[in-house]
Amino acid sequence: MATYVGLLRGINVGGHRPLPMAALRALLGARGHEAVATYIQSGNAVFRTNRDDVDAMADEIAGDIEAAHGFRPEVIVRPLADLAAAIDGSPFAGADPGRVYCYILAGAPERPDLAALDAAAANGEAFHLGAGEGVFYLHAPAGIGRSKLAAMVERRLGVVTTTRSLKSVAAIVALGRKVAASGQPAGARLD
């Protein structure tokens, strides 16, 4: 049985598209996933399963949410090892992990427009498209709230993404390791 991470985009933001984490855990459990745990309200779930088709699992999760809650979020499912590799692969290891953002990619960009992203960089921003991690890294010392570069990443890469700070990715990986090691971690509800 392997451990996976499900990352949802655009839920529980400003009162829109509400999805309680208890409901997400219940949906995943109903699909037969085991040791389901969530981290904060932004849609981060860790679970164990015998399945290995991440795209099919993502589609099912999105469909189940749509059927139960009336909206269909973007969902990206990755093996826990992929997120651990994203931490290890960060080219910004010395930077504040709360200011390094990992855009988890739904697929490989075919023709990313890195020149346009480079032209939009401001306030000390730097980025790197990870070759094997399926991650676009953005170091944004001033944050991403008003960053023009951050706002155009998905469009310029040409693939669906969901963004987490490196600090959040580390917390999700730590939770995933507890799930993998013990089946169901004590206090799995971290949201």
C-alpha 113 chain-centroid distance: 22
pTM of the shown model = 0.91
In angstroms, the CA 47 to CA 4 distance is 6
More confident residue, 183 or 103: 103
Phi then psi for residue 128, to 5 deg, are -155, 130
Q: Across all residues in the chain, what is the average pLDDT?
A: 92
Q: Longest Cα pair distance anywhere in the chain, in angstroms?
A: 47
Contact between 37 and 191 under an 8 Å Cβ cutoff? The reply is no
The CATH fold assigned to 2-79 is Alpha-Beta Plaits (3.30.70)
In angstroms, the CA 71 to CA 76 distance is 16
* pLDDT tens-digit readout, 71-101: 999 999 999 999 999 999 999 989 999 999 9
Reduce the DSSP state of residue 11 to 3 states and report it.
coil
14-to-17, 18, 137, 169 alpha-carbon distances in Å: 9, 9, 25, 22
In angstroms, the CA 120 to CA 149 distance is 5
